[in-house]
Amino acid sequence: MWTGCYIFDVLTTWYDRVVKKTEIDKVNPPKFDKANDMAELTYLNEASVVHNLASRYMADMIYTYSGLFLVAVNPYCSLPIYSHEYISTYKNQSRDGTPPHIYAITDLAFRNMLEMRENQSILVTGESGAGKTENTKKVIQYLAAVTTPTNTTSELGTFEQQILQANPILESFGNSQTVRNNNSSRFGKFIKIGFSRSGQISGAYIDWYLLEKSRVVTQSPLERNYHIFYQLVCGASTSMREKFLLDGKVGDYAYLNSGQRSIPGVSDTDEFKNLMLAFKVMGFSEQEQTDLLRVIAIILHIGNLEIGEERSSGQAKLSQFSQVEKLCHVMGVPVDAFAKALLRPRAKAGRDWVDQSRTQAQVQFSLHALAKVLYERGFAYLVNRINEVLDRDSDGNMFIGVLDIAGFEIFEANSFEQLCINYTNEKLQQFFNHHMFVLEQEEYARENIEWQFIDFGHDLQPTIDLIEKSNPIGIFSCLDEDCVMPRATDKSFTEKLHTLWAKKSDKYKPSLFKQGFRLTHYAAEVDYSTEGWLEKNKDPLNDNITHLLSLSSEPHVAQLFADDAEGDGATRKRKGLFRTVAQRHKEQLTSLMAQLNSTRPHFVRCILPNHEKRPKKMDNVLVLDQLRCNGVLEGIRIARTGFPNRLSFAEFRQRYGILVTQGAGARGTQLARAASTGYVDGQRACSLILDALKLDKSAYRVGITKVFFRAGVLAELEDRREKLVASVITLIQSRARGFLQRRHVNKRLYRADAVQVISRNMAASQTDNPWWKMYVKMQPLLIAQRETVQSMARDGEYRKVVAQLADSESESQKARERARKFETEMKKVQETLESERALAIDNQEILRRSQKREADLEEQLAGALDDLDKLEAQCEELLDAKRKADKEVEMWRGELEKGARIIGRLEGEKSALDKRMEALVADLSAKDDKEGKIHGEMEQL
């Protein structure tokens, strides 16, 4: 009855379930349980990969190798696997010689950078709440520990401490509680840690992306605003609260009371103390700390402004003037000027300036926009200040970049912010696929390696083109174009997208139930609502308020809005360089991808085990979906079947040629004989070395310029080389020490004999010499006098050298500072130039489309004018016919009037005749009556 099926006894629910053979996968032998590297599994299938991850996760082994990259599952609890003992365990160790760990990947990147002199990058990716930020912190912690120039890793230098303490500051201002994560990064960052040629940290620089500004003014019920708001309200001292006029609790502020007010197990007061300590370590002055926190206080006061409405006119009004006074005092601007700029801002209408009345909704929108831009500019200032502290001069140009960026997001309501984040993740996933699958196989083809090309089906370019392309116009370009159209709306933008893409791409579908569209990403299909997209992309501000803030009595507030001050032509020109949010994000992402492409990448794929934030609970379906989207299984397959490690002929020969000795057999002797005669072809030399090493032929391939190895082979050769080098070094050291010791002993013996001979001779010859006796007595005095003079001279020279050194060091410091500022300015100019070029290309494309549209409209206008001329001619003809008809009507109206007059006269005559006839009838009747009476009387007579 159950042919071709298996019957399973499901113990958890005590029932039998029938499953087809084709629906199950083979189980790996017990020896592969909790395998460190899933590429080693005998049976590679989805079920075995998920089972291996789950079994390791339940045993607190959250890290697992997946071929060439690392999989990290969020434990949702603290694990004792990041101590200094663990750092020592992984320092300078091969990846295969230690259990999987984020430290192993970091150490591999560090050693590759030093050995190959090539920039490295570590990409920590995954969904929101998967643990990206924590793993990024561990990477930085490891690099700071292993590069500290001390004997122990428990003591860090000041600069390394500053690198580590920059993270708490960024977390306070850039992280918040979300549904999936209590400490979720709401911005992306690429941390470049620079190293000198000796391997010491020489500097660091942070690029940041996509700060979630909307969180400042709105949060969902289960989330919070940024940590710094709660830390300031709960942890500020009495004097600080008085300075910022903060007299309430968390629930008293509108921007904080719509969501969660605390995080279980976290004290905002203690976190604020840690933040102040981090500020001190970073070298922030008291004034700089006050300036940063002042911006936070201003935003809290903005949120508490109550806007009313005039009953008669419908204009907005300020309900509580005392709250406005608090805000203006903290901002450093006049109350009346702020109220006027907010409620009745001046705007230019033609050549004149007029005061515009604002509604309640418009004023509320202006306040929210002001709060968001204040936070964004304050955050930008904070990151720039951290970069000034960490970005130092270096004698080398190598770096390790660590990328931590918001993961793929799918919510019930997805808007413009989610599209930007998902577009970024789409580009990063494409980078991963291109590096792991495409470039790998293309190099096999270039090197004539026998290989059957495998199409893993991960082409993400159609979706990326749909978002970013300018020709044909993509979503961002269409949005930018509509932002400059005077009558464009969110609805017209959506309809335009439907017209452009609904029938041209299977990745795009119109939304069925709301104003928006559905986009197919690598992770899932996402429905986006386009409500408010034009305003979000333009990010408009009240120019009256920003100009007022540029004149603030608080220097930091004025500095944040310095570009908005009215000034000369240069200032106006700078203000004219308008960037939409989409344009800025595309420019930043282009710069990031260029940096990543210039490095050797290492991938860490973070996995979210469940949505409940519970430890030791794994949702297998959820995990499997993430593995499929991230290309984990395909990465394992190509690592198992391909040749992931490769070296050029010169590198391989230089590094592993020492393994081939005279005792290595005929091949080694042949190589030595060929080398002694002069030139040896690199390919032939490598083949001789590989044959002499007696490696399995299937474990390597010799290409045109490189030697390729399967996973693990190069590690084996490296172990053999290290053992040989260690034995050779030990032998050299032992012989060198013996030689030096013998030479030292012989020299001491010779000196001892010489001293005895000289002593005897001198004693015999100088015993009776009077001059020698006087010299012996005067020598101590001469030596003392000479030493005194020399000491004074040395002191004088020393003081001069110290002064010269101080002057030289001062000049050198000033020169380095000028050079650093020049490099920073040059970098900014180059970035501005690149962005201007990209913007010019986009504007040219928009101009081309506008010109084409103008030509089409002019053609339509010409046709319409021709139709108008024809219609005017027809109208003239109809008017002539109408005039003729009017004349005929007038003529017939005259005849009708004549007829009416005749009829009236005849009716009058008829009426007179009728009256006359009535009179005659009456007379006749009277006569008849009279005749009747006469006739009666006659009859009586």
State the catalytic residues.
128-129, 133, 181, 184-185, 407, 409
Strands 398-404 and 120-126: parallel
Nearest to 519 by CA among 468, 482, 481: 468
3-state helix, strand, coil in the chain (%, to 5): 60, 10, 25
Tell whether residue 126 is among the known ligand binding residues: yes
Tell whether residue 635 is among the known ligand binding residues: no
Which residues 6+ apart lie within 8 Å of 406 measured at CB? 128, 185, 186, 187, 188, 210, 212, 421, 424, 425
Tell whether residue 131 is among the known ligand binding residues: yes
Which DSSP category does 252 fall into?
Answer: G
Half-sphere exposure of 828 (CA within 13 A, CB side): 6
Contact 717, 656 (CB under 8 A): yes
Tell whether residue 376 is among the known ligand binding residues: no
- 822, amino acid identity: F
Backbone angles phi, psi at 668, to 5 degrees: -65, -40
Angstrom distance (rounded) from CA 19 to CA 10: 12
In angstroms, what CA-CA distances link 484 with 492, 537, 754, 819? 13, 11, 98, 41
Angstrom distance (rounded) from CA 277 to CA 282: 9
Distance of CA 269 to the CA centre of its chain: 29
Tell whether residue 130 is among the known ligand binding residues: yes
Angstrom distance (rounded) from CA 520 to CA 508: 7
Tell whether residue 129 is among the known ligand binding residues: yes
CB atoms within 10 A of CB 177: 23
Distance of CA 733 to the CA centre of its chain: 52
Angstrom distance (rounded) from CA 327 to CA 337: 13
Place of tokens 């605390």: 262
In angstroms, what CA-CA distances link 394 with 58, 112, 199, 830, 843? 45, 19, 11, 21, 39
Tell whether residue 67 is among the known ligand binding residues: no
- 166, amino acid identity: A
Contact 525, 514 (CB under 8 A): no
Backbone angles phi, psi at 167, to 5 degrees: -65, -45
* CA-based max dimension of the chain: 234
Tell whether residue 128 is among the known ligand binding residues: yes
Rg of the chain over Cα atoms, rounded to whole angstroms, equals 45
Q: Using DSSP, state whether 218 is helix, strand or coil.
A: coil
Nearest to 581 by CA among 666, 475, 488: 475
In angstroms, what CA-CA distances link 260 with 219, 411, 550? 9, 18, 34
HEC string for 858-924: HHHHHHHHHHHHHHHHHHHHHHHHHHHHHHHHHHHHHHHHHHHHHHHHHHHHHHHHHHHHHHHHHHH
Numbered residues of the known binding site for ATP: 126-133
Numbered residues of the known binding site: 126-133
